[in-house]
Structure 1
Amino acid sequence: MNGARILIVDDDTANIRALTSLLGDSHEIRFATSGARALELAAADPPDLVLLDVVMPDLDGYAVCRRLKADPATADIPVIFITSLAGPEEEALGLEIGAVDYITKPFSPAIVRARVATHLSLRRANRRLRDENEHLESLVEERTRRLAQAQREKMTALRQIVIGVAHEINTPIGVALGSASHLADRVAELSQRLADGRLSRSDLDRFLESAADLAGLLSGSIVRAGRIVRYFKGVAADPGGVRQPVPLRPLLELAAVNQRPLWQPRGHRVAVSCPAGLAMESYPDILSSIIEQLLRNAVEHGYGEGEAGLITLEAAAAGEGTVRLTVADDGCGLPDGVAGRALEPFFTTRRATGSVGLGLTIIYNLVTDRLGGTLAITGAGGADGGASGGGTAVTIRLPARTPAEL
C-alpha cells in the first residue's frame, strides 16, 4: 500500500471503525483507544497524520497533542482533532496548541477525506522542501569551506535567516489555513440551515461568536506573516537612490520628528547632538531608515511599562575619514547574555509581544554590506562612545564617503 500512515486515536471503537472504513482503502491505518497508547505508537513509529479525539478517560486529546508537539521526533506530525466538542473556545484551543485542523462530530465523510488529503499533501510538500533545503545546505557548506572566514560567517547568517523565516512563518500560515477552513465550514453549515428552514437565533449567535474568534485568529496570523515577509525583504533590500552629500544634523532631527508619534506619548525625550556642518557623502534614505529603526528599538526595548527616559541621537567625526553615529538610551540596559546575541537573526526577548527579531539584523546588513561600516552594541558609557549613564548604546562607524561598490 502506497498510502500514508494514519493513527486514529479514539476511545469509541465505533468511531475508529467508521474512520477506518472511510480511509483504510487508500491509507495504512493504526489506532489507539487511549492517549497513553497513542503516544507509545507515535514514538515507536511516527505516523504521517494523527486523527485525535478530545474527550478520553486518561489523557485527553489536548494533552496528547501537547506532548506530540513537545517531542522533536513527533512535533511535525499534523494533528486533526475529530471531536464532539463544537464550541469556539475548544476549536481555538486546539489550534493554539498545534493542531492543523478541527472537525466536529458527527463528521461528514467528504470533509474528512478532503481535510486528510489536504494536510497529507502539505506534509509531503514540507518534506520535499526540507530535503531540498538540506541538499542546498550541503552545497553551501561545501562552498563555504573554500572561502575566507568572513565569507563563511555571511553564508551561515543567510542560512539561519532562511531557516528562521520558514520556522516563523509556518505557524501563522498554519493557523490562518485552519481558521479559514473552519470559517468556511461554519458558513456552509449556516447556509444549509437557512435553506432547510432550521435556522434559529441561537444558531446565528453561535455562528457570530465562532466567526469573530476565527476571524481574529485569521487576521492576526496574516498580519504576523506579512510583518515577517516585510522584515525578510528588508534584509535583502537594495539601497537605491544616488550617493550624495548628507548633512547629518538635519538627518538626525528629521528622524526624531518622524518617530515623535512613537516616543512623545510615552513621555520620552529625544536629544540630537551633532556639530554644525558635519556631513557625509552617502545614501540618505538608508541612513534615515537605520537611525529611525534604532530609535524605535530604544523606545520599544529600552524601558519598562510606564517608564520614560532620554534617548540621544549623536553624530561626530571619528578621525581618518570616518563618522560615528550613536543611538543611546538611559533605560534598563541589556540582560546578561543578550548583547552577544542581539545581532543573531530572529533573536528577540519580546517575541510574546509580536517582535520578530530581524530589526537589528537588517540594520547590521545595511551598515556592513551597503555602507561599508561597523556596528557595536554596548552598555551606554562604554568604550565605543555611548552617552553617560545606564542603558544601551548602538554605535555605528562609517566612512565619511560611502564606497560606490563594496
Structure 2
Amino acid sequence: MTATTTNPRFAAPPHKPRVIWRPATTTARTPAERACLIHLLVVDDDVAVIEYLGQLLKGFAQVSFATTGEDALRLAEQHRPDLVLLDVDLPGLGGFEVCRRLRATPGLAELPIIFATSHADAGTEASALELGADDFLRKPFDDVQVLARLRTQLRAAAERPDKPEARSASRTRILIIDDDATSIQLVRSLLADVGECHFALNGTQALSLVGELKPDLILLDIDLPDSDGFRICKKLRADPALGQVPIMFLTNSHTIGHEARALALGGDDFVRKPFSAPVLCARVRRLVDRKRSLEHYLDQVDHRHRQISDGRVAAVVEACKDAIVAADTQGRIVMANAAACGLLGMQAQAVDGARLAELLVCDSHGHDCVCGANGQHIPVEVSTSTQGEGADALTIHVLRDTRERDRALAMARRQTEAAAARRATTSMLSYIAHEIGNPVNVIKGFAQLMQAERLSAGQADKLAHILEAVGHLSSLLADVTDVASMESGQFHVELKDVELRALTEQACEPAAAQAAAAGMQLRATAAAAPVRVRADARRLRQCLDNLLSNAIKYARDGQRIEVELETRGDQVALAVQDHGCGLSEDQLAHLFEPYNRLGRAGGGIPGTGLGLTLTRDLVQAMGGRLEVQSQPGQGCRFEILLAASQPTDNPG
C-alpha cells in the first residue's frame, strides 16, 4: 500500500451526508459570543471544499453547510444567514436555480450571494452576476482573496436596504481614474448604456474633479503617474460626502495581496485587466444599483426618523451587537451605543464629547484601530456612512472587533510557514543523507577489510570504535531518509501477514544482550500461540528495535524491561515497558516532534530525536497506532496496536 498525500482543495469527495453542520470553533462559547458571529451558508457537494472552508472560516464565522440545492433553500429559510457561498454545479437543483429562488423569496431577496465554482469562463461569471449574485470566486481558492471578498460583501450588506428599489431615472455618472487612454476609451464604449463616463488621468485631477462631479461609481487604477490607487481610495473614503460612492479597482495587477489591500481600504470590487466585457458591465450595474438603493433607503430612514421617537431609535442602536458611534462635523462623538463603550472600555459619559480622531486611529501598518481606555490598540473593521447635510450632518461609524479573526489568520499563516520550513529542511537533509551515504559505505567497507588483518589489541579497539561510529551514522542517515520520504509522500509499506511472536523473539535476542551489557534484564512474555498481524515485517522490526533501544537507553541500571504481546479482539498490542525516569505531561506533548530530545541532548545518551517520530509514522502507515503512557520516575510504556490478520478458511 502506498501512503500518499492529497491537496484538500482538489480531493475527490467520498460518499457524504446531505447536510453538514459544523460550528465555527470547538471552543465553548457563551450565547452572547455566538450571537456576534457572522452566519455563513456554504453550498457545495465537495467534501474537500467543505473541510477547507470549515478550517479557513473557523473563528471568523458560524458556518452551516448544504450539499444539495434543496437543502440550501431549507437552511436559508431556517437560519437566515448573513451570506451564502454557492457552487454552480450541484446534484439536483443547480446553483443558478438556487440563486433565482433565493432572490424570489421574501426576506432572502437581499441576502448576499457569492458564487464559488471551478468554472473559469467569463460567460458563467456574467450569468451569475446577471442573476443577482453579489460576487464570483473561482476554485482553487486563495485564503486571502476569500476572506477579503467575504468582508467586502458583509460590509456592503450592512449598508444595504431591506428592499431593492428601481434604478434612478437620473443619468448615472461614472468617473474613470486611469492614465491609459486606450483603456479609458474601451471602458467608455462598454458602459455607454450604463451611464455617462468622465475621466481623470492622475490622482490630483481625480480629487479635484470628484467633488464637482459627485459620481455614482468610481473605476480606479492602481498605477497612476503621481500617486497610486490605494492612496487615492483612502482619501476618497475619508471624504464624508463620498461615503456611499462605490469604488471598483480596475487594474493590470494580478497580485492577490493587492486585491486584499484594495478591499480592506474600502474598495467594493476588484477587476483585473484584460477583463470580460459582460462581466465588467454586470459588476458595474450591480454596484450602481446598490448605491441607488442605499440612497433611497437613507432617504426613507431620514423620513422615518422624524416620525419615530428618539427613545425607540436609541433602543435599536443600543441593542446592536456591533459598536456604533456618531460624530458631528467637528469630529466630536455625539452618540455611542453599549457595544462601542464596551469596545473602548469607557463609560458612556466619557465617550460623549470625545474627539473621534483620538479614539479611531491607524497603526503603523495603516490598519484601523480603536484606542481603548488602557491605551491598548484594538484592530477593527470600519464601515462609514454620512447622514444629513451641512452643519447637521453626522458621520456614522460601525466598528467590528477583528482580534479573534486576526489571531486565527495569523495562526494559519504560522502553520503554513512552519510546514514550508519543515519541507525545506527535510529536502535538504534527504540530499545530505544521500551524498554522505556513499563515503560512509566506503569507510565501513575498508574498516571491515582491516578487521581481517592482523592487528594489535590497541588497533583492534580503535577499529571497533570506528565501526561503531559508522554504524551509528548509517542508522542516522537511514532515519533521515525515511523521515524525508514520509514528508514528501513517497514512502510506502508492503502489508502482508506477519507472525508477530517470531518477529518479537528475533528482535529481543540482540536487545537482551545489549540490556545485559548495560546492567539490565530484558524479559519477553511470549504468546501461547502464533499471533499474526497485517504489517510490513521489515518496518515493524525497525519500530520494535527503536522502542527497545530507547528502553535500554533510559531505563535505570538493574531494572527490568518487559516486552508483552497481547490479543485484544480484532487488534494485537505489542508493548515495551521500561522503569526509567519517565516523562512529564509537557514532555509528552512534544514527544513526537522531529529532532526534539526533550531537554536530554548533550546528556551523554546518544540519539537524534528521530526514532519515535519515525516509529509513529511507520505504525500509522501500516494502519495502526502508537500509544504511550508515562509518569515521571515510573518509566514509559509504549504500545504498538495493529490489526490482527483475518483467519482464512481451510479448503480441506
Considering fraction of residues, name the structure with more helix. 1
Same fold (TM over 0.5): no
User: Whose relative contact order is higher, 1 or 2, with alpha carbons under 8 Å and at least 6 apart?
Assistant: 1
Give the TM-score, by structure 2 length: 0.26
Structure exhibiting the larger radius of gyration computed from Cα positions: 2
Give the TM-score, by structure 1 length: 0.41
